[in-house]
Amino acid sequence: MKADPKQAVRLLKTVIQELSRRHIPATPENYTVWYHYAAATDAELVDYIKRLDERRTAYSEPVNQEIYQRFIEKGGAQQHILEIKNSLRHFVDTLLNTLNSKNSELKDFANTLKIFNQKVEAVQSSNDLQALFIGLMVDTKRQEESAVNLQASLQQMADDINVMRHEMERTSEQAYQDELTKIGNRRMFERELHNAISQSRHKKSPLSMIILDIDHFKLFNDQYGHQVGDKVICYVANILKNSVKKRDKVARIGGEEFAIILPETPYGGAMTLAEQLRNKVSNHQLSSSKDKVRIGKITLSAGIGSLQPDDTRDDLFFRTDKCLYQSKENGRNRITGETELK
């Protein structure tokens, strides 16, 4: 049985909305899962997602993969992908059918004009000529109304496509954004690090990384509460974001842990920046007038690494992270570069 094209369009919109409000990236695998959720084709999948929502589960990459493997791969991914292709095809079919219908009407109108020209040659009286013009006016008016209807149909379709495009863009953007600080999240960091390493190899340009951690944050969070703790995390995130170049990428990769990817920045430049950031954060006395809390100073520890010829992504990350660990071991509120590793 042929699917309703309008229903296919509604499903597309619903899937994008479901992905957006859960901050799930719109990958083909995720889209497949949520298409079947929106269409309610698998009651077990619908119940499972409802339970995840009730527990306020964060739809991280491992969670999304587990859902896909559990409910989609078990039934044959190709069949599900085919169904989604069909829903998109029905949407296009609606447009093509509309255009074909109007094209047929245009051909009929062209034939009407041809017949009119032939009849004009045979007209012998003004009454006959008037009757011909009245008939042409009726056909022309009908064609004008048809053109208006076509324009309205196409405009509605264009509006639907634009809405879905904007929703898809917003969903993709949110999927790579940390909800609290609005800087990049771990997913964005991993993607950008992969891209930065590829560019560095291609251009033969330097690439450095800084990993930073708010010192004693757990004790601080326990003392002042999570609400104030969140404000401190946002304060640090803003300092980092506003202190780097446009090409640099700042991400929150853990609770109180941040990373900065520095394309085209040599090791020495990264060391200088890390020290500047440490000073900016530690030189301010913090307080929250709304919460009537005097926080005092907070400090950062940092590790700095630079891409080496044989490094993998993990090599660079873990070496930089080891530098951060050494900063903490040596008393915190300090930076450690990879050349200082013991």
pLDDT at 270: 98
Tell me: the pLDDT tens digits for 91-147? 555 655 655 565 566 566 556 656 666 665 665 655 555 666 566 566 666 666 666
> In CATH terms, is domain 186-340 a member of 3.30.70.270?
yes
**Residue of 167, 136, 202 lying closest to 15 (CA atoms):** 167
Q: Token pair of 63, please?
A: 């969670």
pLDDT at 137: 65
DSSP string over 246-278: TT-EEEE-SSSEEEEEEET--HHHHHHHHHHHH
Q: Token pair of 95, please?
A: 């447009």
> Whole-angstrom Cα distance, residue 24 to residue 30?
8
CA 105 to each of CA 95, 99, 113, 144, 246: distance values in angstroms, whole numbers, following the listed order: 16, 10, 13, 11, 55
The rounded Cα 26 to chain-centroid distance in angstroms is: 7
DSSP 205: -
Domain borders along the chain are: 1-175, 186-340
pLDDT at 280: 95
pLDDT < 50 regions, the chain: 1-3, 76-78, 80
> Whole-angstrom Cα distance, residue 22 to residue 168?
13
Q: Which of 29, 190, 192, 256 is catalytic?
A: 256
Tell me: the pLDDT tens digits for 213-222? 999 998 888 8
Determine contact, residues 246/305, Cβ cutoff 8 Å: no
pLDDT at 167: 61
Q: Is 167 a catalytic residue?
A: no
pLDDT at 1: 41
> Whole-angstrom Cα distance, residue 17 to residue 163?
11
pLDDT at 105: 60
